[in-house]
Amino acid sequence: MLKDNKHMDSLFAEGLKNLSVSPNPKVWEGINSQLMAAKKKRLFAIYMWTGVAASILLLLAIGNHYFSGQSNYNMQLNTLSENSTSFQNDSVRNFDQQIDSKTNSSTKKELINNANTSDELYVSENEQEEIMIADKVSHKPNLEDANSPEIFNNGNTSSLLSKFPDSNGTEIRASKLNTTFLSNEKDLAFLDSEFVNGLMNRKTEEKLSNFEYDPPSQLVPNTSQLAKQQDLVLLADEIQIQKNILAIEQLGHDKNKENRWSIIGQVSSSYSSYSGDSKGGNAGSGIWSVGGGAKVNYAMNEKLAVQTGIVYNRFGQDMSARGGSRDALMYADPIFGSDENFVNNEVVLTRTYPEHTAAGPIKLSGGSNLPMTAASGEKISSSYSPSSSEDLIQSFKSIEIPLLMRYNLIQKRVGMFVSGGLSANMIVGNGVYDQSQGNKKIGEIDGIRTTNFSSQFSFGLEYRLNSKLQIGLEPSVKYYLNSINTSNQYDYKPYSIGIFTGIRYDF
Amino acid sequence: MENHLLDQIIKDCIKGKSKAQEFLYVEFASKMLGVSLRYSKDLAEAEDTLQDGFIKIFQNIKSYQFKGSFEGWMRRIIVNTALEKFRKAKKIQVVDEFLEIEDDGDENYSELDISLDVLLKMVQELPDRYRMVFSLYVLDGYPHNEIAEVMNISVGTSKSNLARGRAILKQKVNDYLSVKENNLRVC
């Protein structure tokens, strides 16, 4: 029984163990198409994740830039507020002490009762950024005198209104600072930087002098108190000045925005392939190429701009990525050959250059010393040569004249925009190259349309180096709207996915 | 194929070079089709397995450690692909069978002159599960415990299926020989 089984097993094993059968060529086509699809999918995934990562980085950068800028500004104002308030409190405390020392208790009580006449200084940047410098400088209303000198300092810098005691010192009317002292940008007076600097220096000197004065011997302060009130005014001015400095900076930015014309120089690295269904055309994989050009940008308003220019591109397909360059594969034994017959040390291939690609028929160059007879099916032998890498590459060179609309999403130091539009593409180069022969041109695609139209969409980032220069990064997708071959047998619509990097100069 | 050339082709396949992939396919496709034919009921199914198997080979070629036979590594992937398709088709019926096969005597089958295509046809005509076990055990040298694992059956069932497969094949061989003998007599 056991022996019988062994005989049975050996009968089949000897025959079938090394069975070798030549598969249908369609099997390789199926394998190759699936491998190419996987490659494309992988590339798409790389682009997608790169885009996602870039978007996240961009959002982080913009968020960081925006919030840090905002917090710095808030910090400036808060610091100013704290300084002003503390300084104000100190001065008022001193002033109160003077009053206390010079007035009786009843007068003091009245002063307290009249707290509703307290002078307040509100410095408001906006609703969220309100600085209140409040002070309570009491006085006796019945002692107010029309003779009291009034200092109006509401000219261009503020609506500050002050009343100061007269020289007799019988009245105290503290400065009343309007709550709308600094309300919004429209009320701002723009001071030039020299004026601002001068004013700030002078103010500082005055502050110092105020701290050095001697308390007057009389009940009511006169000149020193006047200085106190002036100091309050100057504090307000200081805030005003800070505000104006910001306004001046803003004005500078606004001026920058007025730059309507700019030129953009760009270089691109792109992956190009095609879509379409060509009859019998050999499919290939995409190719990477570099391009570049110059564009003119005209800003119609703050957000919208139009662009045009001239851009050089290269696109095509790598024919060697599939069996297209080989019409037939020869195997050692057609069917049920023995293993000894099958195993060859050299693989013999029957190779012919394809008569056409997906883009159209190949018109071989007359001067080519390549085996022209290969086109008619001459067999040539080839063994695997790792150094010769790939074989045929079909490429087109085009000059593109785009007309694009650009919409600015963010215009800070880091800018973000989207753009899209149409382009006219002139095919200026057309060739099929054999890489195994040192990238020698073996011919060109016949029936290519000279002028073609494409659409494109891009998402861009810009970083402002200074008021004139910006550098940018612009991932872009471009798709041909028409087949570039005039024959309706070939539906070849190239597309490309690339990244433009460039520099922009604003006039 | 020389080893260093094969190694170079494998390395290029790992890099995704299409030309290397094609050369590898050309070199091994026939042998691998021979493997998949033994696990399939016909050529179409075998070529389908071959296609899926080669895609797996190219997608996983980076996991090849350059140790041992590369052909053996490929062969295993083809067999696994065939088994996977078999499992997906739910062709495996988990039935424990313990069958005693009668001894028909001691014949030296190995010396019989039967062509390869006839032998292959006999194997392909086996019920699926018998064919799988027979091919795994007899032609690819899998032990029963491994067959049980890959086919998700018990070792006993594996042995039983093998015995049943052998019996059917023996019957087929005997039938074939008797027909052949009759034909010769007629001539």
In a domain, B95, yes or no: no
One domain for residues A167 and A270: no
- Is B47 a residue whose pLDDT tops 90? yes
Which of A312, A267, A269 is CA-nearest to residue A289?
A269
In a domain, A53, yes or no: no
One domain for residues B83 and B14: yes
One domain for residues A280 and A162: no
Find the mean pLDDT for residues A416-425. 92
Q: What is the predicted pLDDT for the residue at B143?
A: 92
One domain for residues A218 and A284: no
- Dig out the tokens for A393 from the structure: 């590459």
User: End of a domain among B59, B88, B117?
Assistant: B88
pLDDT band at A130 (very low <50, low <70, confident <90, very high): very low
- Is A119 a residue whose pLDDT tops 70? no
* Alpha-carbon gap, residue B34 to A335, rounded angstroms: 10
Cβ <8 Å between B38 and A16: yes
Q: What is the tens place of the pLDDT at every residue in B126-143?
A: 998 899 999 999 988 899
According to DSSP, the residues that pair with A498 across neighbouring strands are A270, A476
How many domains does the structure of chain A reveal? 2
How does A425-442 read in b/e, with b if 16+ C-beta sit within 10 Å? bebeebbbbbbbeeeebb
Contacts of B41 (CB under 8 A, 6+ apart): B124, B125, B128, B131
- Compute the half-sphere exposure of residue A184: CA atoms within 13 Å on the CB side of its CA: 2
Q: What is the tens place of the pLDDT at every residue in A41-75?
A: 887 788 778 878 877 877 787 777 666 655 555 55
How many domains does the structure of chain B reveal? 2
Indicate the SS3 state at residue B24.
helix
Greatest distance between any 2 Cα atoms in chain A: 139
One domain for residues A266 and A238: no
One domain for residues A148 and A165: yes
Which of A384, A395, A386 is CA-nearest to residue A362?
A395
One domain for residues A193 and A170: yes
Task: Residue B12: give the domain boundaries.
Answer: 3-88
Find the mean pLDDT for residues A133-148. 43
- Dig out the tokens for A37 from the structure: 């699809």
User: End of a domain among B57, B88, B119?
Assistant: B88
* Alpha-carbon gap, residue A344 to B30, rounded angstroms: 12
Contact assessment for residue A374 and residue A403, using Cβ atoms and an 8 Å cutoff: no
Contact assessment for residue A453 and residue A480, using Cβ atoms and an 8 Å cutoff: yes
* Alpha-carbon gap, residue A9 to B137, rounded angstroms: 9
Residue among A5, A14, A20, A21 with most chain B CBs within 10 A, to mutate? A21
- Is A31 a residue whose pLDDT tops 50? yes
ipTM value for the complex:
0.82
pLDDT band at B176 (very low <50, low <70, confident <90, very high): confident
Q: What is the predicted pLDDT for the residue at A229?
A: 76
* Alpha-carbon gap, residue B64 to B57, rounded angstroms: 9
As a residue count, chain B comes to 187
Strand ranges, E, within A125-283: 130-134, 150-153, 160-163, 261-275
Cβ <8 Å between A326 and B22: yes
One domain for residues B167 and B128: yes
One domain for residues A264 and A201: no
Q: Measured between CB atoms, does A9 come within 8 Å of chain B?
A: yes
Contact assessment for residue A62 and residue A412, using Cβ atoms and an 8 Å cutoff: yes
Sign of the CA dihedral A104, A110, A116, A117? negative
- Is A380 a residue whose pLDDT tops 80? no
Phi/psi for A156 (5° steps) reads: -95, -20
A31-35, A233-237, B112-116: which has the highest mean pLDDT?
A31-35
Q: Measured between CB atoms, does B5 come within 8 Å of chain A?
A: yes
Of all residues in chain A, the percent with pLDDT exceeding 90 is 10
Q: B79: domain CATH number? A: 1.10.1740.10
Residue among B30, B160, B168, B177 with most chain A CBs within 10 A, to mutate? B30
One domain for residues B76 and B115: no
Task: List A residues 29-48 in contact with B (Cβ-Cβ < 8 A).
Answer: 30-32, 34-35, 38-39
Contacts of B187 (CB under 8 A, 6+ apart): none
One domain for residues A124 and A252: yes
Task: Residue A245: give the domain boundaries.
Answer: 67-256
